[in-house]
A and B are shown apart, each in its own frame.
Chain A
Protein backbone atom coordinates (compact mmCIF):
# COMPACT_ATOMS: atom_id res chain seq x y z
CA UNK A 1 0.00 0.00 0.00
CA UNK A 2 1.22 3.48 -0.81
CA UNK A 3 0.18 6.30 1.46
CA UNK A 4 -0.93 8.48 -1.43
CA UNK A 5 -3.37 5.80 -2.62
CA UNK A 6 -5.23 5.51 0.69
CA UNK A 7 -8.72 6.85 0.91
CA UNK A 8 -8.51 7.46 4.65
CA UNK A 9 -6.02 7.84 7.47
CA UNK A 10 -7.71 6.26 10.47
CA UNK A 11 -4.78 4.92 12.50
CA UNK A 12 -1.19 3.75 12.33
CA UNK A 13 -1.97 0.15 13.22
CA UNK A 14 -2.33 -0.86 9.56
CA UNK A 15 -0.07 1.76 7.98
CA UNK A 16 3.20 0.39 6.63
CA UNK A 17 6.69 1.62 7.47
CA UNK A 18 7.25 2.86 3.89
CA UNK A 19 4.11 4.98 4.09
CA UNK A 20 5.25 6.56 7.35
CA UNK A 21 8.64 7.27 5.77
CA UNK A 22 6.94 9.00 2.83
CA UNK A 23 5.07 11.29 5.25
CA UNK A 24 8.18 12.07 7.32
CA UNK A 25 10.29 12.82 4.21
CA UNK A 26 7.63 15.02 2.64
CA UNK A 27 7.28 16.99 5.89
CA UNK A 28 10.86 18.31 5.55
CA UNK A 29 10.22 20.61 2.54
CA UNK A 30 6.81 21.46 4.04
CA UNK A 31 8.49 22.78 7.18
CA UNK A 32 10.62 25.06 4.97
CA UNK A 33 7.43 26.66 3.67
CA UNK A 34 6.16 27.41 7.19
CA UNK A 35 9.38 29.15 8.10
CA UNK A 36 9.65 31.46 5.09
CA UNK A 37 8.02 34.90 4.60
CA UNK A 38 5.61 33.74 1.90
CA UNK A 39 3.81 30.87 3.62
CA UNK A 40 1.66 29.61 0.79
CA UNK A 41 2.05 27.32 -2.19
CA UNK A 42 -0.68 26.85 -4.81
CA UNK A 43 -0.68 23.04 -4.68
CA UNK A 44 -4.15 22.28 -3.28
CA UNK A 45 -6.00 25.24 -4.78
CA UNK A 46 -9.60 24.21 -5.35
CA UNK A 47 -9.59 21.47 -2.70
CA UNK A 48 -11.48 21.78 0.55
CA UNK A 49 -10.84 20.22 3.91
CA UNK A 50 -13.50 20.43 6.61
CA UNK A 51 -12.67 19.91 10.27
CA UNK A 52 -15.41 18.48 12.44
CA UNK A 53 -14.47 18.19 16.10
CA UNK A 54 -16.86 16.61 18.59
CA UNK A 55 -14.26 17.21 21.32
CA UNK A 56 -12.36 20.36 22.24
CA UNK A 57 -9.03 21.11 20.64
CA UNK A 58 -6.69 24.05 20.17
CA UNK A 59 -3.63 22.74 18.43
CA UNK A 60 -4.84 19.84 16.33
CA UNK A 61 -7.68 21.74 14.73
CA UNK A 62 -5.72 24.94 14.14
CA UNK A 63 -2.83 22.86 12.86
CA UNK A 64 -4.99 21.13 10.22
CA UNK A 65 -6.60 24.44 9.37
CA UNK A 66 -3.27 26.21 8.76
CA UNK A 67 -1.73 23.17 7.03
CA UNK A 68 -4.58 23.26 4.51
CA UNK A 69 -4.34 27.02 4.04
CA UNK A 70 -0.56 26.96 3.51
CA UNK A 71 -1.27 24.57 0.62
CA UNK A 72 -4.06 26.87 -0.73
CA UNK A 73 -6.94 24.56 0.19
CA UNK A 74 -10.10 25.96 1.75
CA UNK A 75 -10.53 24.85 5.35
CA UNK A 76 -13.98 25.45 6.82
CA UNK A 77 -14.60 24.37 10.42
CA UNK A 78 -17.78 22.90 11.80
CA UNK A 79 -18.18 23.89 15.41
CA UNK A 80 -20.22 21.09 16.88
CA UNK A 81 -21.28 23.04 19.97
CA UNK A 82 -23.15 25.57 17.78
CA UNK A 83 -24.34 23.10 15.11
CA UNK A 84 -27.45 21.03 14.45
CA UNK A 85 -25.86 18.24 16.46
CA UNK A 86 -27.22 20.17 19.44
CA UNK A 87 -30.70 19.86 17.88
CA UNK A 88 -30.37 16.08 17.97
CA UNK A 89 -29.07 15.36 14.47
CA UNK A 90 -27.42 11.94 14.18
CA UNK A 91 -23.75 11.52 13.26
CA UNK A 92 -24.74 9.83 10.01
CA UNK A 93 -27.06 12.67 8.98
CA UNK A 94 -24.52 15.34 9.90
CA UNK A 95 -21.83 13.64 7.81
CA UNK A 96 -24.18 13.18 4.83
CA UNK A 97 -25.09 16.87 4.98
CA UNK A 98 -21.41 17.84 4.95
CA UNK A 99 -20.67 15.39 2.12
CA UNK A 100 -23.37 16.95 -0.06
CA UNK A 101 -21.56 20.30 0.17
CA UNK A 102 -18.57 18.74 -1.56
CA UNK A 103 -15.45 18.85 0.62
CA UNK A 104 -12.63 16.49 -0.36
CA UNK A 105 -11.43 15.62 3.12
CA UNK A 106 -13.16 15.34 6.47
CA UNK A 107 -10.89 15.75 9.50
CA UNK A 108 -12.72 14.36 12.47
CA UNK A 109 -12.32 14.09 16.22
CA UNK A 110 -14.81 12.16 18.32
CA UNK A 111 -14.99 10.89 21.89
CA UNK A 112 -16.16 7.46 20.69
CA UNK A 113 -13.46 5.03 19.57
CA UNK A 114 -14.20 3.91 16.03
CA UNK A 115 -16.46 6.84 15.09
CA UNK A 116 -14.19 7.96 12.18
CA UNK A 117 -14.05 4.35 10.93
CA UNK A 118 -17.84 4.23 10.85
CA UNK A 119 -17.96 7.55 9.03
CA UNK A 120 -15.25 6.52 6.55
CA UNK A 121 -17.27 3.45 5.53
CA UNK A 122 -20.31 5.60 4.89
CA UNK A 123 -18.95 8.53 2.91
CA UNK A 124 -17.08 9.20 -0.31
CA UNK A 125 -15.08 11.94 1.44
CA UNK A 126 -11.58 11.02 2.56
CA UNK A 127 -11.46 10.83 6.34
CA UNK A 128 -8.55 11.72 8.60
CA UNK A 129 -8.85 10.67 12.23
CA UNK A 130 -7.84 13.57 14.48
CA UNK A 131 -8.37 11.45 17.59
CA UNK A 132 -11.10 8.92 18.40
CA UNK A 133 -11.80 8.12 22.04
CA UNK A 134 -9.05 5.95 23.45
CA UNK A 135 -8.18 4.36 20.11
CA UNK A 136 -5.81 6.31 17.86
CA UNK A 137 -4.48 9.78 17.05
CA UNK A 138 -2.31 9.01 14.02
CA UNK A 139 -1.27 12.55 13.07
CA UNK A 140 -0.03 13.20 16.62
CA UNK A 141 2.12 10.08 16.50
CA UNK A 142 3.48 11.06 13.07
CA UNK A 143 4.47 14.51 14.34
CA UNK A 144 6.06 12.92 17.40
CA UNK A 145 8.04 10.62 15.11
CA UNK A 146 9.07 13.57 12.94
CA UNK A 147 10.21 15.50 16.03
CA UNK A 148 12.25 12.53 17.24
CA UNK A 149 13.78 12.01 13.79
CA UNK A 150 14.68 15.69 13.47
CA UNK A 151 16.49 15.77 16.82
CA UNK A 152 17.98 12.27 16.77
CA UNK A 153 18.62 11.74 13.07
CA UNK A 154 17.06 8.27 13.23
CA UNK A 155 14.23 6.23 14.70
CA UNK A 156 15.73 2.79 14.29
CA UNK A 157 16.69 1.17 17.58
CA UNK A 158 15.85 4.12 19.86
CA UNK A 159 14.61 3.49 23.39
CA UNK A 160 11.31 5.33 23.76
CA UNK A 161 9.38 5.53 27.02
CA UNK A 162 5.80 6.79 27.29
CA UNK A 163 4.79 8.02 30.75
CA UNK A 164 1.26 8.48 32.10
CA UNK A 165 -2.25 7.22 31.58
CA UNK A 166 -1.58 4.64 28.88
CA UNK A 167 -5.02 3.06 29.24
CA UNK A 168 -6.93 6.12 28.00
CA UNK A 169 -4.28 7.40 25.61
CA UNK A 170 -4.85 7.35 21.87
CA UNK A 171 -1.52 9.18 21.56
CA UNK A 172 0.27 6.26 23.28
CA UNK A 173 -1.44 3.67 21.10
CA UNK A 174 -0.63 5.43 17.83
CA UNK A 175 2.96 6.01 18.95
CA UNK A 176 3.34 2.33 19.84
CA UNK A 177 1.92 1.20 16.49
CA UNK A 178 4.12 3.65 14.57
CA UNK A 179 7.42 3.33 16.45
CA UNK A 180 7.29 -0.46 16.63
CA UNK A 181 7.57 -0.50 12.82
CA UNK A 182 11.00 1.13 13.18
CA UNK A 183 12.46 -1.35 15.64
CA UNK A 184 12.28 1.00 18.63
CA UNK A 185 12.52 -0.46 22.14
CA UNK A 186 9.22 0.63 23.65
CA UNK A 187 8.38 1.06 27.32
CA UNK A 188 5.41 2.48 29.18
CA UNK A 189 5.37 3.83 32.72
CA UNK A 190 2.35 4.55 34.91
CA UNK A 191 0.14 3.32 37.73
CA UNK A 192 -0.75 -0.31 36.98
CA UNK A 193 -4.45 0.63 36.93
CA UNK A 194 -3.70 2.93 33.97
CA UNK A 195 -1.74 0.39 31.93
CA UNK A 196 -3.71 -2.07 29.78
CA UNK A 197 -3.09 -5.59 31.12
CA UNK A 198 -2.26 -7.00 27.69
CA UNK A 199 0.08 -4.18 26.61
CA UNK A 200 3.08 -6.53 26.42
CA UNK A 201 1.41 -8.23 23.42
CA UNK A 202 2.26 -5.07 21.49
CA UNK A 203 5.94 -5.67 22.23
CA UNK A 204 6.00 -3.02 24.97
CA UNK A 205 7.60 -3.39 28.41
CA UNK A 206 5.55 -1.96 31.29
CA UNK A 207 7.03 -0.32 34.40
CA UNK A 208 5.28 0.92 37.52
CA UNK A 209 8.42 2.71 38.69
CA UNK A 210 9.32 5.96 36.90
CA UNK A 211 13.08 5.80 37.54
CA UNK A 212 13.34 2.21 36.29
CA UNK A 213 11.33 2.99 33.17
CA UNK A 214 13.30 6.11 32.23
CA UNK A 215 16.79 4.65 32.76
CA UNK A 216 18.77 4.80 29.51
CA UNK A 217 15.86 6.11 27.41
CA UNK A 218 16.54 8.25 24.31
CA UNK A 219 13.05 9.71 24.19
CA UNK A 220 10.57 10.39 27.01
CA UNK A 221 7.05 11.07 25.83
CA UNK A 222 5.05 12.51 28.74
CA UNK A 223 1.29 12.21 28.40
CA UNK A 224 -1.29 14.63 29.74
CA UNK A 225 -3.41 13.41 32.63
CA UNK A 226 -6.79 13.59 30.94
CA UNK A 227 -9.15 14.67 33.69
CA UNK A 228 -12.06 14.29 31.25
CA UNK A 229 -11.42 10.54 30.98
CA UNK A 230 -10.88 9.79 34.68
CA UNK A 231 -14.35 8.59 35.67
CA UNK A 232 -13.39 5.35 37.36
CA UNK A 233 -11.12 6.60 40.16
CA UNK A 234 -8.20 4.58 38.77
CA UNK A 235 -5.62 6.48 40.79
CA UNK A 236 -6.10 7.83 44.30
CA UNK A 237 -5.38 11.52 43.78
CA UNK A 238 -3.61 14.08 41.60
CA UNK A 239 -1.22 14.68 44.50
CA UNK A 240 -0.21 11.05 44.61
CA UNK A 241 0.22 10.95 40.84
CA UNK A 242 2.47 14.00 41.00
CA UNK A 243 4.51 12.45 43.78
CA UNK A 244 5.13 9.22 41.87
CA UNK A 245 5.02 10.11 38.18
CA UNK A 246 5.75 13.80 37.55
CA UNK A 247 8.79 13.90 35.26
CA UNK A 248 11.46 16.31 36.54
CA UNK A 249 15.01 17.29 35.48
CA UNK A 250 16.53 14.70 37.84
CA UNK A 251 14.78 11.96 35.86
CA UNK A 252 16.39 13.24 32.66
CA UNK A 253 19.74 12.56 34.35
CA UNK A 254 18.86 8.84 34.39
CA UNK A 255 18.08 8.82 30.68
CA UNK A 256 20.58 8.73 27.78
CA UNK A 257 22.94 11.73 27.57
CA UNK A 258 21.10 13.52 24.79
CA UNK A 259 17.59 12.33 25.66
CA UNK A 260 14.66 14.51 24.62
CA UNK A 261 11.25 15.05 26.19
CA UNK A 262 8.02 15.17 24.21
CA UNK A 263 4.55 16.18 25.35
CA UNK A 264 1.46 16.22 23.10
CA UNK A 265 0.02 19.23 24.93
CA UNK A 266 -1.77 20.87 26.54
CA UNK A 267 0.60 20.50 29.49
CA UNK A 268 -0.55 20.27 33.08
CA UNK A 269 2.58 21.85 34.55
CA UNK A 270 3.28 20.57 38.02
CA UNK A 271 1.22 17.40 37.52
CA UNK A 272 2.76 15.17 34.82
CA UNK A 273 5.73 17.44 33.96
CA UNK A 274 7.58 19.97 36.12
CA UNK A 275 7.77 23.55 34.89
CA UNK A 276 11.56 23.40 35.01
CA UNK A 277 11.62 20.43 32.63
CA UNK A 278 8.95 21.93 30.39
CA UNK A 279 11.16 25.03 29.93
CA UNK A 280 14.37 23.08 29.32
CA UNK A 281 16.06 22.96 25.91
CA UNK A 282 15.67 19.18 25.94
CA UNK A 283 11.88 19.52 25.92
CA UNK A 284 10.69 19.79 22.31
CA UNK A 285 7.05 20.62 22.99
CA UNK A 286 7.16 23.87 21.00
CA UNK A 287 8.94 22.27 18.05
CA UNK A 288 6.26 19.58 18.10
CA UNK A 289 3.63 22.24 17.39
CA UNK A 290 5.46 23.55 14.30
CA UNK A 291 6.25 20.02 13.18
CA UNK A 292 2.56 19.16 13.51
CA UNK A 293 1.69 21.68 10.82
CA UNK A 294 4.47 20.38 8.54
CA UNK A 295 3.44 16.74 9.00
CA UNK A 296 -0.23 17.54 8.34
CA UNK A 297 0.77 19.46 5.20
CA UNK A 298 2.65 16.35 4.08
CA UNK A 299 -0.38 14.13 4.77
CA UNK A 300 -2.77 16.46 2.94
CA UNK A 301 -0.37 16.75 0.00
CA UNK A 302 0.10 12.99 -0.29
CA UNK A 303 -3.64 12.32 -0.02
CA UNK A 304 -4.84 15.15 -2.28
CA UNK A 305 -1.87 16.15 -4.44
CA UNK A 306 -2.09 13.44 -7.08
CA UNK A 307 -4.73 12.18 -9.48
CA UNK A 308 -7.89 10.80 -7.91
CA UNK A 309 -8.25 7.67 -10.00
CA UNK A 310 -5.19 6.23 -8.30
CA UNK A 311 -6.99 5.65 -5.00
CA UNK A 312 -7.07 1.96 -4.28
CA UNK A 313 -9.79 1.85 -1.67
Chain B
Protein backbone atom coordinates (compact mmCIF):
# COMPACT_ATOMS: atom_id res chain seq x y z
CA UNK B 1 0.00 0.00 0.00
CA UNK B 2 1.16 3.53 -0.79
CA UNK B 3 0.22 6.60 1.19
CA UNK B 4 -0.13 10.23 0.23
CA UNK B 5 0.16 13.13 2.64
CA UNK B 6 -3.19 14.89 2.75
CA UNK B 7 -2.69 17.52 5.42
CA UNK B 8 -0.02 18.73 7.83
CA UNK B 9 -1.56 18.81 11.31
CA UNK B 10 1.44 19.84 13.43
CA UNK B 11 4.97 20.97 12.63
CA UNK B 12 8.02 20.73 14.88
CA UNK B 13 7.28 24.00 16.72
CA UNK B 14 3.64 23.16 17.42
CA UNK B 15 4.60 19.69 18.67
CA UNK B 16 7.13 21.30 21.03
CA UNK B 17 4.57 23.79 22.31
CA UNK B 18 2.04 20.99 22.91
CA UNK B 19 4.61 18.92 24.83
CA UNK B 20 5.54 21.95 26.97
CA UNK B 21 1.87 22.43 27.83
CA UNK B 22 1.44 18.72 28.66
CA UNK B 23 4.58 18.87 30.83
CA UNK B 24 2.98 21.74 32.80
CA UNK B 25 -0.29 19.83 33.07
CA UNK B 26 1.44 16.69 34.39
CA UNK B 27 3.30 18.83 36.90
CA UNK B 28 0.11 20.61 37.99
CA UNK B 29 -2.10 17.50 38.16
CA UNK B 30 0.39 15.71 40.39
CA UNK B 31 1.46 18.77 42.45
CA UNK B 32 5.04 18.35 41.28
CA UNK B 33 6.74 15.34 39.77
CA UNK B 34 7.99 13.60 42.91
CA UNK B 35 7.16 9.89 42.41
CA UNK B 36 6.13 10.44 38.79
CA UNK B 37 7.63 8.30 35.99
CA UNK B 38 6.96 8.27 32.26
CA UNK B 39 6.50 5.10 30.23
CA UNK B 40 6.35 5.41 26.45
CA UNK B 41 4.49 2.86 24.36
CA UNK B 42 6.64 1.49 21.54
CA UNK B 43 7.53 2.72 19.10
CA UNK B 44 6.83 6.44 18.91
CA UNK B 45 5.65 6.81 22.48
CA UNK B 46 9.26 6.18 23.54
CA UNK B 47 10.84 9.29 21.95
CA UNK B 48 7.82 11.39 22.96
CA UNK B 49 8.22 10.28 26.60
CA UNK B 50 11.88 11.31 26.46
CA UNK B 51 10.97 14.74 25.08
CA UNK B 52 8.30 15.17 27.75
CA UNK B 53 10.78 14.23 30.49
CA UNK B 54 13.21 16.88 29.22
CA UNK B 55 10.45 19.52 29.22
CA UNK B 56 9.47 18.54 32.77
CA UNK B 57 13.12 18.83 33.81
CA UNK B 58 13.38 22.38 32.44
CA UNK B 59 10.23 23.36 34.37
CA UNK B 60 10.78 21.55 37.68
CA UNK B 61 14.51 20.80 37.70
CA UNK B 62 13.79 17.11 38.22
CA UNK B 63 13.88 14.65 35.34
CA UNK B 64 11.39 11.84 35.90
CA UNK B 65 12.58 8.31 35.05
CA UNK B 66 11.58 7.10 31.59
CA UNK B 67 10.85 3.57 30.38
CA UNK B 68 9.45 1.95 27.26
CA UNK B 69 6.74 -0.65 27.04
CA UNK B 70 6.29 -3.19 24.23
CA UNK B 71 2.65 -4.22 24.19
CA UNK B 72 2.77 -6.81 21.38
CA UNK B 73 2.23 -9.81 23.67
CA UNK B 74 -0.84 -8.08 25.19
CA UNK B 75 -2.64 -7.17 21.94
CA UNK B 76 -6.20 -8.40 21.50
CA UNK B 77 -5.99 -8.68 17.71
CA UNK B 78 -3.10 -11.13 17.28
CA UNK B 79 -5.18 -13.93 15.81
CA UNK B 80 -6.91 -11.59 13.36
CA UNK B 81 -3.63 -10.22 12.05
CA UNK B 82 -1.34 -11.90 9.55
CA UNK B 83 1.86 -13.43 10.86
CA UNK B 84 2.90 -12.95 14.46
CA UNK B 85 4.22 -9.37 14.81
CA UNK B 86 7.80 -8.77 15.95
CA UNK B 87 8.19 -8.58 19.74
CA UNK B 88 10.61 -6.03 21.19
CA UNK B 89 11.91 -5.61 24.72
CA UNK B 90 10.10 -3.78 27.46
CA UNK B 91 12.67 -1.58 29.16
CA UNK B 92 11.40 -0.24 32.46
CA UNK B 93 14.39 -0.36 34.79
CA UNK B 94 12.67 1.19 37.82
CA UNK B 95 10.05 -0.29 40.15
CA UNK B 96 6.59 0.93 39.08
CA UNK B 97 4.98 -0.05 42.38
CA UNK B 98 3.73 3.00 44.32
CA UNK B 99 4.59 5.44 41.52
CA UNK B 100 2.39 7.67 39.39
CA UNK B 101 2.99 6.33 35.89
CA UNK B 102 2.20 8.51 32.90
CA UNK B 103 1.76 6.30 29.84
CA UNK B 104 2.80 8.19 26.71
CA UNK B 105 1.69 7.39 23.17
CA UNK B 106 1.62 9.23 19.88
CA UNK B 107 -2.02 8.67 18.85
CA UNK B 108 -5.11 7.39 20.64
CA UNK B 109 -7.67 5.86 18.29
CA UNK B 110 -9.72 2.80 19.35
CA UNK B 111 -8.20 2.71 22.83
CA UNK B 112 -7.11 -0.91 22.41
CA UNK B 113 -3.41 -0.10 22.57
CA UNK B 114 -3.97 1.81 25.82
CA UNK B 115 -5.88 -1.18 27.22
CA UNK B 116 -3.01 -3.51 26.33
CA UNK B 117 -0.52 -1.05 27.85
CA UNK B 118 -2.49 -0.94 31.12
CA UNK B 119 -2.32 -4.73 31.37
CA UNK B 120 1.36 -4.85 30.41
CA UNK B 121 2.20 -2.16 32.95
CA UNK B 122 0.29 -3.81 35.78
CA UNK B 123 2.21 -7.05 35.18
CA UNK B 124 5.35 -5.10 36.13
CA UNK B 125 4.01 -4.02 39.52
CA UNK B 126 1.26 -1.98 41.19
CA UNK B 127 1.47 1.73 40.33
CA UNK B 128 -0.29 4.13 42.72
CA UNK B 129 -1.97 5.75 39.76
CA UNK B 130 -1.80 5.54 35.96
CA UNK B 131 -2.39 8.51 33.68
CA UNK B 132 -2.41 8.67 29.90
CA UNK B 133 -0.78 11.35 27.74
CA UNK B 134 -1.15 11.39 23.95
CA UNK B 135 0.00 13.83 21.29
CA UNK B 136 -3.09 13.26 19.10
CA UNK B 137 -6.62 12.14 19.99
CA UNK B 138 -8.31 11.19 16.72
CA UNK B 139 -11.56 9.86 18.21
CA UNK B 140 -13.38 6.58 17.32
CA UNK B 141 -12.93 4.98 20.75
CA UNK B 142 -14.07 1.35 21.09
CA UNK B 143 -13.30 1.05 24.80
CA UNK B 144 -14.16 3.27 27.80
CA UNK B 145 -10.71 4.89 27.90
CA UNK B 146 -10.04 8.64 28.02
CA UNK B 147 -6.62 10.31 27.96
CA UNK B 148 -5.70 12.66 30.82
CA UNK B 149 -3.42 14.87 28.68
CA UNK B 150 -3.93 15.59 24.98
CA UNK B 151 -1.70 17.58 22.62
CA UNK B 152 -4.33 18.09 19.94
CA UNK B 153 -7.80 16.74 19.16
CA UNK B 154 -8.04 15.86 15.48
CA UNK B 155 -11.44 14.79 14.11
CA UNK B 156 -10.83 12.14 11.44
CA UNK B 157 -12.66 9.60 9.34
CA UNK B 158 -11.86 5.94 10.02
CA UNK B 159 -10.28 5.59 6.57
CA UNK B 160 -7.71 8.30 7.20
CA UNK B 161 -4.33 7.55 8.73
CA UNK B 162 -2.77 9.84 11.31
CA UNK B 163 1.02 9.57 11.32
CA UNK B 164 3.21 11.04 13.99
CA UNK B 165 6.82 11.34 12.86
CA UNK B 166 9.62 11.75 15.38
CA UNK B 167 13.27 12.70 14.78
CA UNK B 168 14.69 9.60 16.49
CA UNK B 169 12.87 7.23 14.11
CA UNK B 170 11.73 9.26 11.10
CA UNK B 171 14.29 12.07 10.95
CA UNK B 172 11.77 14.87 11.57
CA UNK B 173 9.06 15.92 14.01
CA UNK B 174 5.63 16.40 12.45
CA UNK B 175 2.06 15.09 12.39
CA UNK B 176 0.29 14.43 9.09
CA UNK B 177 -2.95 12.95 7.86
CA UNK B 178 -2.38 10.43 5.09
CA UNK B 179 -4.64 8.55 2.75
CA UNK B 180 -4.16 5.39 0.75
CA UNK B 181 -3.28 5.95 -2.90
CA UNK B 182 -5.22 3.58 -5.17
Report the Cα distance A302→B83, complex, angstroms: 8
Contacts A32-B90, A38-B123, A41-B123 given: A307-B82 contact, CB under 8 Å?
yes
Q: Mark A287-307, 1 if CB is under 8 A from B, else 0.
A: 000000000000001111111
Cβ of A198: which chain B residues have Cβ within 8 Å of it? none
Contacting residues of chain A (27-69) with chain B, CB-CB under 8 angstroms: 28-30, 32-33, 36-38, 40-43
Question: In angstroms, how far is the closest chain A Cβ from the Cβ of B87?
Answer: 5
Q: Which of A4, A26, A307, A310 has the most CB of B within 10 A?
A: A307
Asked whether B61 is an interface residue with its Cβ less than 8 Å from the other chain, the reply is: no
Given contacts A29-B89, A41-B73, A43-B73, contact A36 B124 (CB under 8 A): yes
Nearest CB of B to A68, in Å? 14
B85 at the binding interface (Cβ < 8 Å): yes
Chain A proximity of B1: nearest CB distance (Å): 18
Counting chain B residues whose Cβ lies within 8 A of the other chain, the interface size class is: 20 to 34
In the bound assembly, the distance between CA atoms of A304 and B79 in angstroms comes to 8
A306–B119 touching, CB < 8 Å: no
* A-side contacts of B109, CB under 8 Å: none
Please encode chain B, from 83 to 110, with 1 for each CB lying within 8 Å of some chain A CB and 0 for all others.
Answer: 1111111100000000000000000000
Asked if B80 is at the interface of the complex by the 8 Å CB criterion, the answer is: yes
CB of A151 within 8 Å of the partner chain: no
- Report the separation of the CA atoms of residues A26 and B79 in the bound assembly, to the nearest whole angstrom: 18
- In the bound assembly, the distance between CA atoms of A30 and B84 in angstroms comes to 14
Inter-chain CA distance A307–B85, complex, in Å, is 10
| Chain B residues closer than 8 Å to A2, beta-carbon distance | 83
A5 sits at the interface (CB 8 A): yes
Contact B88 A305 (CB under 8 A): no
Within the complex, the shortest CB–CB distance from A217 to chain B, in Å, comes to 31
Say if the beta carbon of B70 comes within 8 Å of chain A: yes
A17 contacts partner chain B, Cβ-Cβ < 8 Å = no
Query: B62 at interface (Cβ–Cβ under 8 A)?
Result: no
Cβ-based interface call for B13 (8 A): no
Q: Does A152 reach chain B (CB closer than 8 Å)? A: no
User: Is B85 a contact of A32 with CB atoms below 8 Å?
Assistant: no
Q: Which of A30, A303, A310 contacts B82 (CB 8 A)?
A: A310
- Cα(A29)–Cα(B87), bound, Å: 7
* B81 at the A interface (CB under 8 A): yes
Cα–Cα, bound, A71→B79 (Å): 14
In the assembled complex, the CB of B93 is this many whole angstroms from the nearest CB of chain A, namely 11
Docked-complex contact B124 and A38, CB < 8 angstroms = yes
Q: Which residues of A contact B (CB under 8 A)?
A: 2, 4-5, 22, 25-26, 28-30, 32-33, 36-38, 40-43, 71, 301-308, 310
